[in-house]
Amino acid sequence: MPEALLEAAGLSRRFGGLAAVDAVDLRVERGAIHGLIGPNGAGKTTLLNLVAGALGVTRGTVRFRGADITRWDAARRAQAGIRRTFQNLKLFAEMSAVENVSLGLHAGTRAGIFAALARTPGERREEQQIFAAAQRALEFVGLGSHAGVAAGKLPYGHRRLLEIARAFVAEPALLLLDEPAAGLNQTEAANLSRLIGRMREAGCTVVLVEHHMDVVMSVCDVITVLNYGRKLAEGRPAEIQRDAQVIEAYLGRGDAPPAGKNARAVA
């Protein structure tokens, strides 16, 4: 098998006695849009946090571009090209939209305290580049005309897009999206699906945690299904929709099936 962009082996994370993620193997191929679904509490966000470095692993390894990054902290992983969004939006509310996105370029830029004090030509050039790139990223997600608005004052759907812009601006190799469609209406969700596709075309590999089945089934190449912290199934969207175990995991909880035409959200 060729080397995958991300390879997690035997990943486990325990909280006290509870195994939130239990010996999960995950292989994300370069250029893929990889869905991560499962009922509430299945361990999707925990798994994402383990990959992003926001949580330490209890057991297992994470390899990214062939390197063992298991002991790297979140900032180092971000610098290496793993960027994420948060399920419950974590924006810098008092900063403008374009400043929020400019933070996404922090790791790739250099100007420090002394360069800022001296206003060196290099520092000024870098500042211009940062804000030009941030503006382009805002336009890419469709927020080009909101650059100067404080993030906390943007409507909800725009805040979701802003977080994506902040993660995308650094041109990450791996983009981890944690329920980007949560709370979006049907039109916004369809836009989001197209945006995820365009980010893949721009060179990002995407891991998508999502409850919104229209989005998952329309954009994902591969879907991994988690249940009680373990991997339940993995395959192409069509396979997952037919998988008896998956249907039972959802139906068994008294929820809507994952593949219904009108099923907006499951679990």
**Interface with other proteins, residue 92, by CB under 8 A:** yes
| The only residue of 63, 65, 72, 95 in contact with other proteins, by rule CB under 8 A | 95
Polymer length in residues for the chain: 267
Q: How far apart, in whole angstroms, are the C-alpha atoms of residue 160 and residue 169?
A: 14
Two tokens, residue 32: 């893929």
**Interface with other proteins, residue 160, by CB under 8 A:** no
| The only residue of 8, 28, 130, 175 in contact with other proteins, by rule CB under 8 A | 130
Stretch that binds other proteins, among 57-65, 72-80, 225-233, 242-250 (CB under 8 A): 72-80
| The only residue of 75, 202, 238, 251 in contact with other proteins, by rule CB under 8 A | 75
Coil, strand, or helix at residue 218? helix
| The only residue of 57, 60, 86, 193 in contact with other proteins, by rule CB under 8 A | 86
Residue 170, exposed/middle/buried by CB under 10 A (0-12, 13-18, 19+)?
buried
* Least distance CB 14 / other proteins (angstroms): 21
**Interface with other proteins, residue 104, by CB under 8 A:** yes
Stretch that binds other proteins, among 95-103, 184-192, 210-218, 230-238 (CB under 8 A): 95-103
* Helices marked H in 65-155: 74-80, 97-103, 113-118, 121-141
Asked whether the beta carbons of 81 and 30 are under 8 A apart, the reply is: no
- DSSP symbols for 70-81: TT--HHHHHHHT
Q: Which residues bind other proteins (CB under 8 A)?
A: 52, 54, 73-76, 78-79, 83-84, 86, 90-95, 99, 102-104, 106-109, 111-113, 115-117, 119, 123, 126-127, 130, 166-167, 170
